[in-house]
Chain A
Amino acid sequence: MATTLRRVLEYVEDQAGAVSLAQMARELGVPRPLLQEMIDYWVRRGRLREAGAASCGTCGSASLCPAAAFVLKRYEPVNGGAEQAVCACAAE
């Protein structure tokens, strides 16, 4: 049986578009704070990435940027990204 962590990743990858964290927590039966932790885990492993909305970098002025008003924390799968160990950076 797949681990909860694996189910979280597969759930995100299987969505056809946007899903909210609350909805995902409900459907997976995982408490939302714990779900956030699990998503962060996959971000560290390079399978999901956190994308800021207002990252066009045009003007550098968040206070004037209309996009800044719509900044939503979102996570998306990294297509074709190689999975990496959480500690890959510790080899120094």
Chain B
Amino acid sequence: MAARSYSIALAGNPNVGKSTLFNALTGARQHTGNWPGKTVEKKEGRTLIDGREVLVVDLPGTYSLAACSIEEVIARDFIVQEQPDAVVIVADAANLERNLYLALQILELGAPAVLALNMADTARARGLRIDTEALSAALGGAPVIETVGSRGVGIDALKAAIARCASRPSRVPFALDYGAQLEAEIAALADQSAADPALSARYSPRWLALRLLEGDASVPVSAELRAAASAAAERLAAALGDDAELLIADARYAFIGRAVARAVTHTSADVSPSERADRIITHRIWGLPIFLGLMWLVFQFTANVSAPLLDWVDGVVTGPVARWAAALLGAGGLGGTWVESLAVDGVIAGVGGVLVFVPVLMTLYLAIAVLEDSGYMARAAFVMDRVMRALGLHGKSFLPLLVGFGCNVPAVYATRTLENERDRKLTGFLATFMSCGARLPVYVAFGAAFFGAQAGQLTFGLYLLGIGAALLTGLAFSRLIYRNQPAQPFVLELPPYRWPRPRGVARQVWARTRSFIYNAGTIILACAVVIWLLLALPASLDLRAFNAVEPEDSVFGTTSQLIAPALAPAGFGDWRAAGSLISGVIAKEVVIGTMSQVYSAEAPDDDPDAATPTLLEDIGEIARSLGEAIVLTAQEAINIVPRTVNVIPGVKLPEADLLGAGDKGAEDTTALGTALRGAFTPLSAVAFLVFVLLYVPCMATVGAMRQEFGGRWALYQIGYTLLLAWAAAVIVYQGGLLLGLGA
């Protein structure tokens, strides 16, 4: 006589390798369809165990049998109604706590079950050793088998356990001890349900009692039984101070905790390296200095490492590219015309003047992407939250503020994550003080022109000043708006630290750089053309003098001169600076684009007697200078170490000098740098940068503010930031003069 066939079910949480184990058991003997009347996929397969054909049914992945979702209903109904000969509970061996809740529910249902601890290799790699016998004993004797479904490890042992389980003549449900009071109510309800033969034939009376106490409305019971369960739940709530459903869940979690503590040992330290690191990195005292130190390093890296490549791109744009454009236009008969002026003094000076900062931004984005991918930025958010709370600000506002370091526009939109309108408005307001990527080219241009190797410190200081302005503004506003409002609590899951993934970092850097380049090709190009037109158009509107007017007599120059006197107390009452600030309202990068245009319009032409390089000479020089820039970039990267250590008083580590060119890597030789040194003093340059940091954010940000918070709030912000920027720049300049720093 042929051996009787039987059926088994695979149950488990999602993502525990249940399908892999199903494949390992059934091989190619599979059939896929839908569960009757449902859109959930049903997979069945066949396998041979001890010569008997076994139907294997893969149940949908669920976290419990609470019947809250269609998957849970399917899994529970299959086990209850089809009564498979064995249920294989597939659990992730590395996350036992997460998986044992479902296992308990299946065991309480009375199903003959085997616990397959899948992905046992991952658990071992994480330093977990599971005593399967101890776990089996805790689970009422249910067999526990370690498997690695993807490699077929443990499949034979699992089949043997299934065979033993399926051949057991009786089903004795696993009974977890819920404590005297709960047990008494469970027993009473179980007795009542056992009295109904139809009901007790389908369900284990104890399991049914538990489900009724948990408030499960989906089990079909009589009105009397349900009423009895409600009365029992009320008695328990009165006696134990909580509802029965919570008490049952709590008992299960407590059992899981005990079972895991008994069966699982950690061969590695109990505390993960990430948690150990976090005890220092997110420490309530050390967290902030560590954050500031890392940011300092980021700006050292950004300003110094990118400088040689910045000089190279600048040399290429202002030299060969400008010459080639002029030569091409000259060949087309347009040499010396307004078209050449538009191309060279407008587009190349304006757009090129901004594009030369691509290496700087890429370096910053690289540093930030590395910090993000390593998991540090999540900690920064955590640390910042504490700082803001200490100043009476709303803790949850940290995210939009951090986003503001990239771009203020998404920072304003990110305030949508806050529920309260007042919180959103204040956070949006403060986010615009965060130094966005577009302000960085301005800092770097001035930093390189005036502060050489100290440019990183200057940039770092400006970022800190932006944070400080936001915090002080927030503090002042919170005194007025948020009086006595308690901080909102929340729990953060900090991801474990990891080595940054090169591909992920590269994707982040490219996505952000692309956005910057896109802006240069659209907004900045348009601005460059408009600025060129205003520079070429005489204030008298005499078109005969078009493109032949002195810059200060142009529409742009004359308009800028009207505003310049107001900026004189801040040390930059020059019309060129005023004009650049006006154009910077459109986008902050445009400040640099405009300066490049204004100063190039005034710069004397190249020596006419100098020989113009040939195309081949240009290409050779571009290649040679690129090689030099790459070597200098490496040199600057190496020198971050001595420059950082040399901050300690009395320490003087030598710096690398790969080309024997002294401090050439930090020397600003760009055309704009030379022009700025002629127009500003170091003190007025700092005052100018403070103004750029704090004054009206770009038009896109103002537009976002208007869209989110209304026109009046956007106007308040324009007024407030203008006043604050002016006051801060004047204080910096006049204070510097008083301290004798004006030279």
Contact = CB atoms under 8 A, between A and B. Distances in A.
> Looking at chain A, what size class is its interface with the partner chain?
35 or more
B381 interface: yes
A17 B395 contact: yes
A51 B411 CA distance: 17
Given A31-B97, A58-B410, A72-B378, A85 B494 contact: no
A86 B492 contact: no
Nearest to A53: B399
Interface in B370-422: 372, 377-378, 381-382, 385-386, 389, 395, 399, 402-403, 406-407, 410-411, 413-417
Given A14-B489, A31-B257, A4 B250 contact: yes
Contacts of A37: 97-98, 101, 253, 256
Nearest to B260: A31
Contacts of A77: 489-490
Contacts of B257: 30-31, 34
Interface residues of B, number: 71
B489 A73 contact: no
A42 to B, nearest CB: 10
B615 to A, nearest CB: 38
A30 to B, nearest CB: 7
What DSSP secondary structure best describes chain B's contact surface? helix
Given A51-B417, A67-B414, A41 B399 contact: no
A76 to B, nearest CB: 4
B489 A66 contact: no
B249 interface: yes
B256 A57 contact: no
B417 A20 contact: no
Contacts, number: 193
With a 10 A CB-CB cut-off, give which of B250, B260, B278, B492 has the most chain A CB atoms: B492
B493 A56 contact: no
Nearest to B254: A4
Given A20-B282, A33-B95, A87-B218, A69 B508 contact: yes
A74 B493 contact: yes
With a 10 A CB-CB cut-off, give which of A48, A87, A89 has the most chain B CB atoms: A87
Contact of B410 (A5, A22, A33, A66): A66
Contact of B489 (A70, A72, A76): A76
21 contacts: A3-B250, A6-B246, A12-B491, A18-B395, A18-B490, A21-B492, A21-B493, A34-B97, A34-B256, A40-B63, A58-B413, A59-B410, A63-B511, A64-B515, A66-B403, A66-B410, A69-B368, A70-B372, A86-B249, A87-B67, A91-B217
Interface of A: 2-6, 12-22, 24, 30-31, 33-34, 36-41, 44, 48, 51, 53-59, 63-67, 69-70, 72-77, 85-92
Interface of B: 63, 66-69, 73, 95-98, 101, 214-218, 241-243, 245-247, 249-250, 253-254, 256-257, 260-261, 275, 278, 282, 368-369, 372, 377-378, 381-382, 385-386, 389, 395, 399, 402-403, 406-407, 410-411, 413-417, 486-495, 507-508, 511-512, 515
